[in-house]
Amino acid sequence: MSEQTSERFVMPGELLGTAEEFVPGPGTYEDGGRVYAALLGHSHVDPAARAVSVQAVHGIPRIATGDLVYARVDELKSQMAICTILASATTRRSAPGVPEGTVHISRAKDGYTDSLADEFAPGDILLAEVIQGHPSIKLTTAPPELGVVAARCQSCHGMLSAGSKGLVCLRCGATERRKQSRSYGLLRPVDSAHGSPPH
């Protein structure tokens, strides 16, 4: 195996080896007797087949401060809601590695919150802003645009619909309260060039 073809991160157009050494596999192309990467990704050599291929790395954005994300509430603790970050709200791409994020009780809404159970329930889908991306992901749902965007009834699991008196279960008629986003029920990408919430 030559230095050119050991497994590594490659750019499109990067030389992987010669057509004499390797059969061009998926994610590569041959040009003038040389094999190049066609994708951004990791190159792999199959010695038995004498083939080289490139497995794409999709352009999933790193989660960074200011990003808007969709997150599912998994668990409520006394001081924080523990969430799974599902996707970027701006690109709708799924988040890499299903990272965990937390909403501290002081960041759930503007003003004092007695209990996170008054604002969220497990299973709720939040639209949240990343206030810290590293080393742990911290989220806020305080601005009016942010908060719960989809939720289910805690007694019957029916979908809750936004009404004038809060959230109403479409199945059993129960009413529930959440820290609702203005865009509750409207799961759509947020119009923002920089990922910050619209004002």
- Residues near Zn ion (CB under 5 A) are 153, 156, 158, 169, 171-172, 174
Min CB(151)–Zn ion separation in Å: 11
Nearer to Zn ion, 66 or 173 (CB): 173
Nearer to Zn ion, 117 or 170 (CB): 170
Min CB(81)–Zn ion separation in Å: 22
What is the three-class DSSP state of 157?
A: coil
Nearer to Zn ion, 19 or 170 (CB): 170
CA pair distance 122, 89, nearest whole angstrom: 20
Q: Which candidate, 40, 36, 41, 118, places its Cα nearest to that of 76?
A: 118
Structure tokens at 162: 């936004």
Min CB(158)–Zn ion separation in Å: 4
Nearer to Zn ion, 73 or 153 (CB): 153
Residue 176: φ, ψ to 5°? -135, 165
Which residues 6+ apart lie within 8 Å of 142 measured at CB? 107, 108, 109, 110
Min CB(64)–Zn ion separation in Å: 38
CA pair distance 57, 71, nearest whole angstrom: 23
